[in-house]
Structure 1
Amino acid sequence: MTYADLLFANGPVLTMDTANPRSHALAVKDGRILALGDRALGLRGPGTQVIDLSGKALLPGFQDAHVHPLMGGLQMVACDLSEVHSLSEYRRIIANYARTHAEQDWVEGAGWYGDVFDGGFPHRDLLDELVPDRPAYFLSHDGHGAWVNTRALELAGITDSTPHPDGGIIAREENGRATGMLIEHAADLVSRMLPAPDKSHIRNALLEAQKFMHSKGITAWQDAAVGEALGSPDAFEHYLALDEQGLLTATVTGALWWHREQGLEQLELFRDRRSRARGRFRASAVKLMLDGVCENLTAAMTRPYVGHPQQRGMTLIEPEVLCDITRSLDAEGFDLHLHAVGDQAVRDSLSALELQARTGWDPRHQIAHLDIIDAGDIAQFSRVGAIANIQPLWARQDPVLTETKLPYLDSAHQSMHFAFQSLHEAGVPLAMGSDWPVSSPDPMWGVHSAVNRTAPPADPHAKDERSQNSPLLGHEAIALDAALHAATAGAAFANRLDQDRGTLREGMIADLAVLEADPYAVPARALGDLAVERTYVDGVLIFHRATSE
């Protein structure tokens, strides 16, 4: 008789399988799920390790459908501002880091939030005060802007008369003086001068990111920018190396970065990379950046921003060109991962995904972020079969949204803000991504905001009364079933990993997460407080909270 290696019992097993959504036991053999329920209990043998859940919940390992692990890892090992939310804390952390890292030629960091600063943007004068002796470069929490000091501007040759680069903005005072805030591709003028991190530093950052994500119950993800992108090094060779060394314990789908200044000649590189990535890391998708973000007026909108009648954002790839690109990539069998924040960018994405179906091709094309969508475009979203890759932690009335975003949006745009339920009701598949380090990768924080449309209690960037208690468009909240599905099976589908992962069924790979309580047994407002107790990959324990604290 075949006995189980592992047996989980005495707690709810939330399978994410619509045919059998809930069970009470699960057995694992050789890294795969052997049985569920009473049949699993009958497979206990003399060598079976029994995990007494004691009421804790067993779920499929969470998956993140849109994340930047290398950026997150590099931020963790640099001057990290992401865990605080005040100007006094920024001052303290930057000054301390500069003092304790005097040997570094540059002071680098990331994670700042615009609403901390008067006017929504930082100024070089403050950074000059904190780092007077060296160039300094700090990427914003959302990756769409950089805060630099005067020395960095000088090294980059940026003066008060330097023209805006294509796809970027050099912020200036009314008198024309550059402020040290570089928006979108203007940041490249400085980031390309940063010292390149060495191989060991990059791989250490990836491993730190993996460890952190495993602690949140995440067992697989889609890296949404594999290539030299967003001021970050190319992670491709490093993923391959870590996989070859047996150090990559996550399963990773790589979205290869589309360089918009190049053309279809990139296909040769993409084909080569796809052929070389055949282990735990697969390069099966391509990422295209279509616009920016609303906070700096670069998200592409169908109508002008309030107070800026001449500005509708940036269209980074013209619609006709985009359609040529998507047709070519789809014909080559690549999944498309489109960054679209504004409703015009979403509309352009949908038009570009009106692709000819063909036998044997099951595309996983997805539109990420879709902060704003026109109600009239939701039916097309469903018709083209695109996945809505949502970042639910953004769907709350935090200071970033209310102070630096909503003032630029008219009432109609505000009314279709993170329209999760509207998309779900229309039959659009939902996949949850965090966009970490833009926001926390904690999937239960994302579930909390998706269900409540408020911030999780422990989020340092949303501790105010409105963030915690006033839902953002409460009618766009989704049910707990839909939220958990988006964080597991839905994300697995978007990551093209659903054949073996994302649900708990016989024969599936035993990527598992144990939550400290049944999410269906706690008040909705407490969902964000639920922590992961254990994480398993291929049936092997890789995180245990009791031994990591």
Structure 2
Amino acid sequence: MAPAVNSLLLACFAGSALGASIAQRAPLPIADTLFVNGIIHTLDSGSTTINGGALAITNGTITCVGEEEDCKSAVGASTKVVDLNGKVMIPGLIDTHVHPFDAGRAMLGCTLRYRQLTQEALRKIIQDCLDSQPGETGMLTVTEFDREGFTSINGPGNKAMLDSLKTTRPITIIATNQHNVFVNSRTLQLLNITRNTPDPQGGIIGRDANGEPTGFLEENASGPARALGGDRGIPQLNAGIAALSQLRRRGVTTILDALQAPHDAWTTLKQRGDLTARVFTCFGVFGSTDFPTIVSQALAAKNQLDESTLVANAPGQHWRNVKFFIDGVLPEVSEASLLLEPYLVDNGNGTWVPGKNFGIPNANQSQIQEIITRTLDAGLGIHLHASGDAAVRTVLNVAAAMNRHFQPSEIGIAHAELVAIEDRTRFAELGIPIIASYQWAQKATYGADKNALTLGPERMSRLQAHGTLNNAGALLAYGSDWPVDPLDPFLALAIGVLRKGDPQNRNAHASFGPQFVGRLDDQPALSREVALRGMTIFAATYLNSTSSIGSLEVGKFADIVVIDRDYLDEKAVPDDELARNKVLLTMIGGKAVFADNSTSFIPTEWLAESNRLDSDPVVKSLKPGNILARSLTGRTCGSANHRH
């Protein structure tokens, strides 16, 4: 922890925006707001911390950061002076891999809430959803299905488990990993899937020992079932409103939507003054390899919707990336991540030996080279899902063959859950960042039991190697992948630092039971500062937006989060409490978009604006059980325009 800024430190800051703000004695612009008496972690290049500091905001931009005396001249007759009384200020959090509309629909619809369930419990929740919708005949879509946890309790699932429900409706259950679905016989019938239906490219139709479809559809085979469900009776606008309500409560001020087609939800919300995050979007078509069309449509979306310039006090939308999947997901029930060595299989006597499955590739190396080349030639960036070590290596090999060093915003590899030892230094050498989900480095249902056995000890020892990759020079930008997991940035930060979950945080798998308590492994972890930089300045680097967001410096946007305790101070927040930080205030461009009603320092008009946003009928329809894992609610489905 750095001490309060004083004259001895000014030389260290002489070349920085912070140093300029402290050292300058020219009159400052009159501030709209001046925060005083707070701990400010600027996350600038000097890792500056200011104790008892001050921060001035004018027209949504930071105009002074320093000690109170340094910013005193910014105070005018109309300046709102807010005393933080020792509370902690950090830059607004940036999530570079999130699915807001899927998350919003999950909160508004029928959800299993990430819980491990017996067959009976699964059927009861779904039957309650069905019974709450009398007269409905269309698809019932159910979300947040912990398939790995369900399988460990019940064994392999089968459509017969769903066919026993009292309904004639088609049912599709979306696994939390978002890469596979569980459907009943009626859905298979509507999709014309029989024992004779071939697997699609990049997908698998699950089959039992007799060749009959089980009801599980993997990867590209899952797309038609999701398409059949349409918008689940929940309009895009409502889903966006629901997602934003949780993002601002968690201190998230900028997101990258990791897979989306053009829509008008953000446009509508901006017109209403209710867009409470800066939104970047990856255009993508799940399962398609028609690269000329994908890039053409991505450019059309950019031309139609992209706001070329970020504006401090007017958050907008930016369409600058293409999303493509190289492979699938790791767990044993899917085995779809592409590996250098095959998944292991039980040889019949409890010994696990190499099998024949290397995963499910979504494209070959020449196709991957084509999509990368076409995307970059179009002036767009590409966001690549690559989970297994073979998928990661393929991307790195294609990039290396292009014989250049990339800018961070040009190619990003999302997940990189397994990386070969010899590939660890290549990210820095090529200039390719990793979009990392810190929370996956915990003991969890998706890494336990057969999931560990099919990978084997060596691969498990290098799973989610965030600290090792950071030490090798890779740039790690955080991406939650919400709703794959509950949205909980401080839990993710804690797991990134500790490589274990918090038993007292019900969003952590450590709350499931003692088998999930404790450190995942002995791999090096991230420091508190590096983990937080992954959610701030490193994430802004990936988004090519460091001139505007990611740190608290003069000239940057006033995207600010105030938290109750000092995350970077190990005495103020011991390791075991690191996942329990509370967001008190979220500002974007100097405007309060969330304020904790129990906090005394927040001006009443900011509380009123926060309450106005939360008074939206969609937000009011969200009960705790729709948001927080493992709590039950009577609500099953509904939105402002579609209620049951």
Q: Is 1:208 matched with 2:242?
A: yes
Superposition deviation, residue 536 in structure 1: 0.6
| Pairwise CA distance, 1:56 | 2.1
Does residue 69 (structure 1) correspond to residue 116 (structure 2)? The answer is: no
Within a 5 Å distance, the mapping from 1:185-224 to structure 2 comes to 185-196=220-231, 201-224=235-258
Q: Deviations over 1:273-321 (max 9, x none)?
A: 2222233111111111000011111100000101061100011110122
Aligned mates of 1:159, 1:362 — CA distance in 2: 45
CA-CA distance at 1:440 after TM superposition: 2.1
**Matched residue, 2:299:** 271
Deviations 1:69-93 (A, max 9, x none): 0111111111022253333653443
Q: How many Å apart are 1:176 and its aligned residue?
A: 2.3
With 486-495 and 114-123 compared, the bigger mean Cα shift is at 114-123
Shift of 1:523: 0.6
Asked if 1:299 corresponds to 2:345, the answer is no
Asked if 2 retains the 8 angstrom alpha-carbon contact of 1:85 and 1:460, the reply is no
Q: Which residue of 2 aligns with 1:109?
A: 142
State the Cα distance separating 1:327 from its structure 2 match: 1.9
Q: By how many angstroms is 1:43 displaced?
A: 2.6
Q: Partners in 2 of 1:262 and 1:371 — Cα distance?
A: 27
Contact persistence 1:291–1:341 (CA under 8 A): yes
Residues paired across the two proteins, number: 540
Map of 1:66-465 to 2, 5 A cutoff? Answer: 66-82=97-113, 84-87=115-118, 89-104=121-136, 105-114=138-147, 115-117=149-151, 118=153, 121-196=156-231, 201-227=235-261, 235-258=262-285, 260-279=288-307, 280-295=316-331, 296-307=334-345, 309-354=355-400, 355-357=402-404, 363-456=409-502, 457-460=504-507, 462=509, 463-464=511-512
Q: Label 1:467 to 1:273 Cα distance change in 2 as closer, same or farther (>3 A).
A: farther
Distance 1:210 1:284 in 2: 21
In structure 2, how many angstroms separate the alpha carbons of the residues matched to 1:474 and 1:515?
30
| SS at 1:330 equivalent | helix
Given that 2:203 and 2:360 are in contact with CA atoms closer than 8 Å, whether structure 1 keeps it comes out as no
1:511 corresponds to: 559
Residue type matched to 1:539 in 2? Answer: G
Are residue 36 (structure 1) and residue 53 (structure 2) matched?
Answer: no
Segment of structure 1 superposing worse, 75-84 or 460-469: 460-469
- Asked if the contact 2:284/2:294 (under 8 Å) is kept, the reply is no
Q: Tell me if structure 2 keeps the 8 A contact 1:323–1:352.
A: yes
DSSP 3-state at the match of 1:474: coil
Q: Which deviations, in whole Å up to 9, do the C-alpha atoms of 1:480-526 show, x marking residues without a partner? A: 01000001111122222222011000011111111111112201221
1:336, CA displacement in angstroms?
Answer: 1.5
User: Which has the greater radius of gyration?
Assistant: 2
Is residue 171–residue 187 contact of structure 2 (8 Å, CA) maintained in 1?
A: yes
Measured after TM superposition, the shift of residue 195 of structure 1 is 4.2
1:544 matched to which residue of 2? 595
Deviations 1:324-355 (A, max 9, x none): 22122222221111100000000011112223
- Secondary structure of 2:215's match? strand
Residues 364 and 493 of structure 1 are in contact (CA less than 8 Å); yes or no, is this contact kept in structure 2?
no
RMSD: 2.2
SS in 1 for 2:173: strand
Q: CA distance change for structure 1 residues 467 and 242 in 2, over 3 Å: closer, same or farther?
A: farther
Alpha-carbon contact 1:70-1:209 (below 8 Å) kept: yes
Q: TM-score, length-normalised on structure 2?
A: 0.80
**Does the CA-based 8 Å contact 1:147-1:180 persist in structure 2?**
yes
SS at match of 1:337: strand
The answer to whether the Cα contact below 8 Å between 1:225 and 1:254 also exists between their aligned partners in 2 is yes
**Shift in CA distance, 526/120, structure 1 to aligned 2, threshold 3 Å:** farther
TM-aligned CA deviation for residue 159 of structure 1: 1.9
- Structure 1 residues 74-83 or 528-537, which shifts more? 74-83
**Any conservation in 1 of the 2:434–2:477 contact (CA below 8 Å)?**
yes
Structure 2: gaps of 5 or more residues? 1-26, 308-315, 346-353, 598-606, 615-644
**Secondary structure at 2:322's aligned position in 1?**
strand
AA aligned opposite 1:285: N
Conservation of the 8 A alpha-carbon contact between 1:11 and 1:25: yes
Deviates more, 1:312-321 or 1:19-28: 19-28
Q: Percent identity?
A: 27
Paired with 1:100 and 1:4, the residues of 2 have a C-alpha distance of 53
Distance 1:468 1:51 in 2: 43
The amino acid of 1:242's aligned partner reads L
Aligned to 2:280, the other structure's residue is in SS state strand
Judging changes above 3 Å, is the alpha-carbon distance between structure 1 residues 334 and 467 closer, same or farther for their aligned structure 2 residues?
Answer: farther
Distance 1:468 1:191, change over 3 A: closer
